[in-house]
Amino acid sequence: MRFTHHGPAPTGRHDWQTLKTLFPYLLQFKWRLGLALSCLILAKVATVTTPLYLKHVIDGLSVPATLVAVPVAALIGYGFARLMSSWLAELRDAIFAKVIQGTVRTVARSVFQHLFRLSLRFHLSRQTGGMTRDIERGTRGIGFLLNFAVFNILPTLLEIAMVTGILLSRYQGWFAVVTLGTIVVYIGFTLSVTEWRTVFRRSMNDLDSRANARAIDALINFETVKYFNNERYESERYDHNLADWEASAIKNQVSLSMLNAGQGAIIALGVTLVMAMAARGVVRHDMTVGDVVLVATYITQLYAPLNFLGFIYREMKHSLADMERMFVIMEAGAEVVDRPGAKTLASRDVAVRFEDVDFGYEPDRQILHRLSFEIPAGSTLAVVGASGAGKSTLARLMFRFYDPTAGRIAFNDMDTRDLTQDSLRAHIGIVPQDTVLFNDSIYYNIAYGRHDATREEVIEAARSAHIHDFVMGLPQGYDTQVGERGLKLSGGEKQRVAIARTLLKNPPILIFDEATSALDSRTEKAIQHELADIAANRTTLMIAHRLSTIVDADRILVLDGGRVIEEGTHRELLARQGRYAEMWRLQQERRDDAAVLELGQ
């Protein structure tokens, strides 16, 4: 049967690369690994010696009753060997459990930490649902690989070597030759077919991740789907991905059946040959009945796990395919990294300066053009302009989510690239335009600004953000759950939680990115006074659309196409009758029209 593969091309990463990536995580449990392997070897020795005792029991029962002491001793040895085989195997599992679970935990934590080291650009280009599915499968694959590779492949190979040695020492060499020949053919067939099948698994993984990413994306945007009556469209899109996955899964299963059939045929042929040789030996009086039982038992002991070994190898290949996607994520380089010897920013008075900064999210789409301005320590700079002028980009560059493509950004005359990211970000607090909250309580979301804050400090921050009274009016108060992305709260309520969270952080640099855009006029005016008090003696960048919120700023920049086209105070810019004055006039007209409509109602 011939299959055409339409899945993703292999990543180019080899299984040995994946294993080499995994080894350092295992080495932290060296003594447990060594002890478990010791138990494994002893257990396998007990397993291999068990048929020898069984042979002596059977041969002993074939002689006169006067020699009955021989089978009794053999029976005791047989029972002891079986007991030790079982106990040592259980002890091995108990010791190795920490190795498996500890490695899975360490790898999962490392991947999670690495994801936060990667740039915002990386995360904006990935679908979270598919990426989390890759990580989930990868960590699960580690547990499977360690469990079955150590406890099945190694013991089976060890048993093959021991049994082959016993057969060579006790019987004709042909017994060992046929046994080993069968094993070699079996392993060769399994390896070649499994390599062919691995591409189907990779395709299944990719299609599964894609379907999961689409599903999560649709569920996150539940309201948008409802707004446009697109439930059927999303279901059909999801089903289309599932149909591709189904086709790949069918190919995977059919090829598995072909592999199993071939393995069964090889084992059946090998067992038949060995048993025929043993029967011939008995007829010739070269072997006893006990020898036949010994050979039959060894063959059964070998081929049973060998048959399982085929399954294990297939699943190991699948696990490696699962793990490689996770480790590829770990190999993604961080775009923004601390330089060797980076300094720690430690000051409550911070001046910010942009010097001829160029920046673009894509090489062919530049956002900022030789932008220069300064925010003296403790002063407030406001930035206004049309959508797409580059206002929010300023905040991302200050946080060092990206580095400028040219020019530099300096904090107290120190290039931000010479500062540690942790200390730089600890000095900045932001109230974003689009506030996203954790699916937890209101208290948790406010306290996220500073985890060591007392309850009194959290409540005081909520008071300053004018949300305390609203929270206390809820049945569960601060324990009220905000829902996925904070969707149980209104836009204004979410924004006030974000303001409280930033107040609790108490940073020397503040960024207000349309901080009051979701508030009603009355609440906006109340919070403006609070924000003015908060901004006092702090270095503040205000990104604004409503010009009424920035009239008291020390300086105002008007951006257009990533360039400063006007600069001055509110009064100076109005006097110039330029772009700012035009924006002010239009907003005042809209406000007057809204007031007239409100009076008419």
Phi, psi (5° rounding) for residue 385?
Answer: 160, 170
Cα 70 to Cα 58, 59, 577, distances in angstroms: 10, 9, 115
- Answer with the residue of higher pLDDT: 518 or 282: 282
Tell me: pLDDT of 354 over 90. Answer: yes
pLDDT in tens, 305-318: 666 666 777 677 77
Question: Domain for residue 2, yes or no?
Answer: no
Does residue 365 sit in the same domain as residue 465? Answer: no
* CA distance linking residue 392 with residue 34, whole number of Å: 55
Could you tell me which residue, 224 or 110, shows the higher pLDDT? 110
Residue 289 pLDDT > 60: yes
Check pLDDT > 60 for residue 151: yes
Q: In this structure, are 391 and 518 located in the same domain?
A: yes
Provide the token pair at 91: 């002890």
- The two tokens of residue 277 are 């040789």
- The answer as to whether 339 is a domain residue is no
The β-bridge partners of 543 are 383, 513
Confidence of residue 282 (pLDDT cuts 50, 70, 90): confident
Q: Both 272 and 155 in a single domain?
A: yes
Helix (H) or strand (E) holding 557: strand 555-560
Q: How far is 214 from 195, CA to CA, in rounded Å?
A: 30
Do 41 and 155 lie in one domain? The reply is yes
Please check whether residues 73 and 146 belong to one and the same domain: yes
Q: How confident is the model at residue 523 (pLDDT cuts 50, 70, 90)?
A: low
Checking if the pLDDT of 539 tops 60, the result is yes
Q: Which of 31-40, 135-144, 290-299, 592-601 has the lowest mean pLDDT?
A: 592-601
The rounded distance, in Å, linking the Cα atoms of 127 and 132 is 9
Residue 110 is encoded by which pair of tokens?
Answer: 């490392």
- End-to-end alpha carbon distance in the chain: 76
Burial 33-58 (b: 16+ CB within 10 A, else e): bebbeebbebbbbbbbbbbbbbbbbb
Do 498 and 515 have their domain in common?
no
| Domain annotation covers residue 341 | no
Q: Strand order in 406-411's β-sheet?
A: 365-375, 352-362, 406-411, 414-415
Task: Please determine, for residue 231, whether its predicted confidence score (pLDDT) is greater than 60.
Answer: yes
pLDDT at 353: 92
Closest C-alpha among 566, 568, 515, 517 to residue 542: 515
Check which CATH number belongs to the domain holding 464 and give it: 3.40.50.300
> Based on the domain organization, do 270 and 369 belong to the same domain?
no
Identify the three-state secondary structure at position 465.
Answer: coil
Confirm whether pTM is higher than 0.95.
Answer: no
The SS3 call for residue 550 is: coil
CATH code, 208: 1.20.1560.10
Instruction: Determine the average pLDDT of the residues in 425-453.
Output: 86
Separation CA 59–CA 75 (nearest Å): 12
Summarize the confidence of residues 582-601 as an average pLDDT.
65
Residue 107: pLDDT over 80: yes
In 3-state terms, the chain is what percent helix, strand and coil (to 5)?
Answer: 65, 10, 20
Residue 544 lies in a domain: yes
- 292 and 160 inside one domain: yes
Which residue would you say has higher pLDDT here, 333 or 272? 272
Determine, yes or no, domain membership for 48.
yes
Backbone φ and ψ for 539, nearest 5 degrees, come out as -80, 120
What pLDDT sits at residue 342?
87
Residues 112 and 221 in one domain: yes
Please check whether residue 483 lies inside any domain of the structure.
Answer: yes
Residues 197 and 159 in one domain: yes
pLDDT tier at 10, thresholds 50, 70, 90: very low
- Range scoring the smallest mean pLDDT among 5-14, 102-111, 220-229: 5-14
Higher pLDDT, 463 or 295: 463
The reply to whether 190 and 242 lie within a common domain is yes
Q: What percent of the chain has pLDDT above 70?
A: 86
One domain, residues 247 and 355: no
Give the count of alpha carbons within 13 A of 599, CB side only.
Answer: 6
Q: Convert the pLDDT of each residue in 153-184 to its tens digit.
A: 777 777 777 877 777 777 777 777 887 888 88
Residue 540 to residue 513: CA distance in whole angstroms: 11
At 514 the pLDDT is: 78
Mean pLDDT of 461-476: 88
In the sheet that 380-385 helps form, which strands lie side by side, from edge to edge?
428-431, 509-513, 539-543, 380-385, 555-560, 563-568
Residue 531 resides in a domain: no
- The DSSP secondary-structure symbol of 547 reads G
Q: Tell me if 11 is assigned to some domain.
A: no
119 pLDDT band, cuts 50/70/90, is low
pLDDT attached to residue 455? 92
Overall average pLDDT of the 35-51 stretch: 80
Rounded to the nearest 10°, the torsion over CA 342, 347, 348, 352 is -50
The per-residue DSSP string of 402-441 comes to S--SEEEEEETTEEGGGB-HHHHHHTEEEE-SS----SSB
pLDDT at 547: 85
Q: In this structure, how many other beta carbons lie within 10 angstroms of the beta carbon of residue 1? A: 7
d(CA 353, CA 372): 7
- Our count of domains for the chain comes to 3
Q: When comparing pLDDT for 68 and 445, which is higher?
A: 445
Q: Please check the confidence at residue 204 and state whether its pLDDT lies above 90.
A: no
Mean pLDDT of 187-203: 77
Query: Rounded to an integer, what distance in angstroms lies between the CA atom of residue 452 and that of residue 90?
Result: 45
Please provide the average confidence, as pLDDT, over all residues in the chain: 79
What would the mean pLDDT of 123-128 be, rounded to a whole number? 64
Spatial separation of the C-alpha atoms in residues 5 and 248, rounded to whole Å: 8
Query: Residue 391's closest CA among 578, 562, 570?
Result: 562
Domain boundaries, position 47: 16-331
Q: Which residues contact 334 (CB under 8 A, 6 or more apart)?
A: 117, 118, 119
Identity of residue 204:
M
H/E stretch holding 383: strand 380-385
